[in-house]
Homo-oligomer: A and B are copies of this chain.
Amino acid sequence: MVKSIRGVLLMVCGYFRGVCHVTPNLSAAASGGRDGGTSQVEVAVIQHVCHYTFPSAAQASSPDRHRTMNPDITRERQHATFDVEKLTHILDGGPEKTRRRREIESMVFSDPDFKEEDPNFLSRSERYDQAVKKSAQMILKLREYGIADPDEIYCYKNCVHPDRPEPLDLHLGMFLPTLLNQATPEQMDRFFMPAWNLEIIGTYAQTEMGHGTHLRGLETTATYDPATQEFVLNSPTISSIKWWPGGLGKTSNHAIVLAQLYTQGNFYGLHAFIVPIRDMDTHIPLPGIVVGDIGPKFGFNEVDNGYLKLENVRIPRDNMLMKYAKVEPDGTYLKPPSAKLTYGTMVFIRSMIVGESARALSKSCTIAIRYSSVRHQSEIRPGDPEPQILDYQAQQYKLFPLLAMAYAFSFVGQYMRRTYNRISGDITQGDFSELPELHALSAGLKAFTTWATNSAIEVCRMSCGGHGYSRSSGLPDIYVEFTPTCTYEGENTVMMLQTARYLLKSYRQAKAGQQLSGIVSYLNEPKHQRVQPQPVAARPTVVDINDLASLVEVYKQRAAILVDLAAKSIEQELQQRKSQEDAWNNSAIDLVRASDAHCHYVVVKLFTDKLVEVGDTAIHSVMSSLALLYALHGITKNSGDFLQAGLLNVPQVLQISARIKELLSQLRPNAVALVDAFDIHDKKLNSVLGRYDGNVYENLFEWARRSPLNSTEVHESFHKYLKPLRSKL
């Protein structure tokens, strides 16, 4: 099953969502192909993974759909105009994938070992405890069942810890892969197998309290002492304390520490060192190690993100990861062979995050739309019964564009994953030509989709009225677990600027007459290079607001114009004798805006492209409405850009507003079916409001009664403070 060490790498990477708190540059170094043959360790791992066969799943289909249903939601389902199951297959990538996904879900959800108490009812320490317990079980079962396909492991893990990060994420997602990529064979034998068997539990300690994105700024030092053939590691300042690595606080006994290397009085920059931090047997921190949990966060309660302060910690010379760079026993530094920089892991994780945006958004839409179909409130016509709140135009206008966005991001996520696989195939064959584009695209799309999803989750939550604030709705948890994606694996504004750098480079190449290929080829189209904002009247109207191809064209032109505008801003700054760097900084607003428009164009284009693949007429019809809604809604939200550039005129903008209202009505009967098609198991959704059966109120009451504050009838504070107060007043 695991055909290569690359498979193991992908597996452990794919295993875990990008919760590594690793900033771009170095996670890059954690990828790259291996050039040697299969080592002893690799063979052991492969044998291990392949030893067992799959158990037969207890039940194949996910929720029990024969229970008593809320009649409102049943009626909604009866009105759907398309086959929900077929759309689920499209989202999963085929009926076989759907079947297997449900099989894995059933495996986990029917397994009593994974039964959990609602984390919202537990203290932080209890949540961590429960997560460690489940992670240990998970490791055992994955190996027992021989589940080894990266996608399947990812699926399994996301059922065990429903879309939550967990304490072993960094061990499996960063520590092991880094060993695979940067350890010498001797180091592999010494560290990998014990780590594979969880004697060594490791993390990846890069970020410091005072230093994130900018790796050259990291302060931790590793000074070589030839007398003892050891490195001496130090955290010379408060700001140099390692901060944030997952699993560092309480779980790990080893860390790969990134530190600035000094040897023979010279400075050689950042290198990676394996540092034992806790006793293997007692788990007590070792001398010179100050380690602990960084304290409560907004979400991530299951993870012990940690700090690590190093006080003259000595490690053997051969604990430096020396597959590339080396320090000889006498302290001589050997440069790494100029390895091709590969962006593999980084691109992979960012591409995965696009898919995560889609998942978080799909869950949020499922909850908000199902709830809106069973919640009745106020009145439209006096005397009529209270309507379902989904019948309010204002509610549809909040939710349906987000539903369209969830589908858009799902398809973009599929595209990114497919493209990554294709390009990583090319890379294996030495062809790096498409990597820079994918790198730029994954950076921008990571930012574009996470920002949009971040806001969208909150719109969904607030669309559920008061009950959206209850933890039982599931929405607060979706938000707090998702929102870090805007910062980790590359802070979003930094990501947008990286994409802008690629766009500007391409723009200049195009201007210099070079023929661009790929998704930026539009920068070659000469008319855009001449485009100047001009009165609407001067431009012929060619846009058909009902034609997706025409809208893709408009989005493309908007992107081209905004790239041009950003380039002009830089030129102007340079003319005012600013340095290149200041000119860049003083154009940041325009650059981010250009990247945003580029990404928006890509999303509209990929959604439109996807429609070609959809053969089923009924599904094609509803998907086309969604794609149109996505594109038109994006135009109204950015109408200034389109008007400013003369790409649309005022009557068209007014027509678009009217068309959006029509689309809302058109999508209304299919709204519940469209979220059903995401096929999110109730146990994954973990939302009283979003339950498949629509039985919200009885379950809300049931949930509340189990809440810890209700474990006693009278809270002790009554006797301690309130009753005594009477006599004092």
Contacts and interface: CB of A to CB of B under 8 A. Distances in A.
A461 B657 CA distance: 33
Contacts of A316: none
For the side of the interface on A, what is the size category?
Answer: 35 or more
Contacts of A714: 250, 282-284
A328 to B, nearest CB: 31
A202 to B, nearest CB: 13
A282 B493 CA distance: 58
Contact of A653 (B243, B294, B644, B729): B644
A129 interface: yes
A468 B535 CA distance: 44
Contact of A715 (B125, B375, B394, B395): B125
B212 A709 contact: no
B493 A466 contact: no
Given A394-B588, A729-B197, A207 B466 contact: yes
A486 B728 CA distance: 38
A707 B536 CA distance: 60
Interface in A373-387: 375-382, 386
B297 A469 contact: yes
Given A217-B377, A718-B283, A721-B136, A708 B199 contact: no
A469 B640 contact: no
A380 B722 contact: no
Contacts of A250: 709, 714-715, 717-718
A132 B707 contact: no
Copies, count? 2
Contact of A466 (B487, B585, B641, B703): B487
A512 interface: no
B488 A198 contact: no
A536 B644 CA distance: 11
Given A241-B701, A294-B707, A469 B484 contact: yes
B589 A376 contact: no
A21 B458 CA distance: 19
A465 B21 CA distance: 11
A136 to B, nearest CB: 4
A28 to B, nearest CB: 17
Interface string A285-313: 10000001111111110001001000000
A377 B213 CA distance: 7
B726 A199 contact: yes
Interface string A527-561: 00000011111000000000000000000000000
